[in-house]
């Protein structure tokens, strides 16, 4: 498999973590526009991540994670119990669909080029929505029975692989994580694992 990735994008990082977690043989290709221009996928938008399976090119990080879970079920990213599986998906989708879109390059590009909003004001705007999203995640972790060493117990799930890149982004923006003790503890536990070591460089 070949993963076209920009590496600084949380979505790209999620997919790379899943490939490493499942020990799937793959190579990383830098995803400049020229690299992606020849790939066939939605709307002609040349964005990463793109996973080339050899037969198909897949886009959208959450769809790629679901594909990897279906095609390579062990080790599992989703728990066996249907209700807990749904909660893991809900947690992950909150990050991917409700929080990360505010940081999308297309959004910041429009704000800068069309609306003439300075970068420092863009950062304030994004930080507001990131902190709002982190507060929702923190509430979920504080009030669900499954929260343990990781988001949903004592085994890594998709939720952890999606959460850690988000918090890495928050760290780059100097967001005070002391308001989110459950998130901070879980991310610290994840960062002790070899799987996440490359994110700390």
3-state SS assignment for residue 47: coil
Q: What is the mean pLDDT of the chain?
A: 86
Task: Give the 3-state secondary structure percentages of the chain, helix then strand then coil, rounded to 5.
Answer: 60, 10, 30
Domains of the chain (ranges, CATH numbers): 2-71 (3.40.30.10), 82-200 (1.20.1050.10)
Instruction: Please report which confidence band the pLDDT of residue 10 belongs to, taking 50, 70 and 90 as the band edges.
Output: confident
Residue pair 173/124 in contact by the 8 Å Cβ criterion:
no
Question: What is the side-by-side strand order in the sheet with 2-5?
Answer: 27-30, 2-5, 50-52, 57-59
Residue pair 175/134 in contact by the 8 Å Cβ criterion:
yes
The tokens for 66 are: 């679901």
pLDDT digits (tens, 9 = 90+) for 28-50: 886 555 555 555 554 555 567 88
What is the pLDDT at residue 39? 59
3-state SS assignment for residue 23: coil
Q: How far apart are CA 101 and CA 107, in angstroms?
A: 8
3-state SS assignment for residue 25: coil
Residue pair 89/62 in contact by the 8 Å Cβ criterion:
no
pLDDT digits (tens, 9 = 90+) for 131-154: 999 999 999 999 999 999 999 999
Q: How far apart are CA 154 and CA 19, in angstroms?
A: 20
Instruction: Please report which confidence band the pLDDT of residue 129 belongs to, taking 50, 70 and 90 as the band edges.
Output: confident
Higher pLDDT pick, 160 / 29: 160
Q: Which one, of 153, 155, 144, lies nearest residue 193 by Cα? A: 155
Matching residue, tokens 């190579």: 27
Whether 176 has a pLDDT exceeding 70, the answer reads yes
The highest-confidence range among 28-37, 108-117, 152-161, by mean pLDDT, is 152-161
């Amino acid at each position: 498999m070949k993963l076209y990735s920009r590496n600084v994008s949380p979505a790209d990082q999620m997919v790379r973590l899943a490939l490493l977690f499942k020990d799937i043989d793959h190579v990383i290709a830098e995803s400049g526009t020229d690299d992606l221009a020849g790939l066939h996928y939605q709307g002609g938008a040349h964005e990463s991540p793109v996973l080339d399976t050899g037969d198909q090119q897949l886009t959208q990080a959450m769809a790629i994670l679901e594909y990897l879970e279906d095609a390579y079920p062990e080790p599992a990213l989703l728990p066996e119990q249907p209700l807990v599986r749904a909660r893991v998906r809900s947690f992950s989708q909150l990050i991917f669909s409700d929080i990360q879109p505010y940081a999308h390059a297309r959004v910041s590009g429009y704000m800068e080029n069309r609306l003439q909003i300075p970068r420092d004001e863009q950062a304030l705007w994004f930080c507001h929505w990131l902190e709002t999203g982190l507060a929702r995640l923190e509430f979920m972790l504080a009030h669900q029975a499954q929260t343990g060493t990781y988001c949903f117990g004592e085994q890594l799930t998709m939720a952890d692989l999606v959460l850690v890149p988000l918090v890495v982004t928050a760290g780059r923006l100097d967001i005070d994580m002391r308001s989110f003790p459950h998130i901070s503890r879980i991310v610290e536990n994840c960062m002790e694992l070899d799987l996440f070591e490359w994110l700390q460089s």
